[in-house]
Structure 1
Amino acid sequence: MLLFSARLPWEITAAMLADTVEGYKQREQSLISELCQCFDLPMMRDGLVNWVERQHPRKFGNVLKGEIEACQQIAQETGVLVDPIYTLAGWVLASQLSQQERKGGAKVVMLHTGGTLGMFGLAQRYKSYF
């Protein structure tokens, strides 16, 4: 995705989960650098990702009150399974951006690359919700 985003007219916005913006930017630059080295590409500019702080930051693995219920509601209304640790943060951000889309902003696509397996552990911790 980073390879093509440098050449196509779209922006990448990502929800920060458990690190500082500096940590995310360093990791982003490291991944871009590795990609360019691996495929013998010219170095791309950094700062391709617009990092957004999570609405309710927390330490890794903490589930806040109401998040399991929010995940249930999303699943019931859309058929899309989201977990409260990773995917819910992306869903909330994508929902906010899609509200802007309705007012004439850019189209929004949510791409999620992990976290769903964590639902199995959550199902054991919160049995009555699953």
Structure 2
Amino acid sequence: MKIEKQNAEEQTLNQNQEKEIVNEVLVQVGENETENKNPEIIIVPIKRPIDFDGTFLNEVKLDFTQMTGTQILKIDAELRAMGTGFDDLWNQTVILKLMSRASGLLEEDLKRLHGADYLEVAFRTRNFFIQW
């Protein structure tokens, strides 16, 4: 009985520790590096930073924590006005609009990214919705 009680207490302690870890958004990894623990926030490093009025963009932060169905329906309405629609997650225009909403960057600014950086941000955006 003592062993079962001890195992139950250890399991409860482990579960509480896991909850604390999940609730932390950023964890110190190295001296200047942080690792994101919130699966709804994705930080994509940019290998070829671009200049925005004297400020270099060296990462794109995709924050899906506040993305709602209303926003997705607005994207669909915008696309329908352009003669297309939110047909699937393989449509690059759909992905661009989702990237823009999640990052807070303008679509035109995202298009300025180097092709490889652009595709990395696009893939991470698509994968977020596919894996959800």
TM-score by length of 1: 0.29
Q: Which has the higher helix share?
A: 2
Higher relative contact order (Cα pairs below 8 Å, separated by 6+ residues): 1
Larger radius of gyration: 2
TM-score by length of 2: 0.29
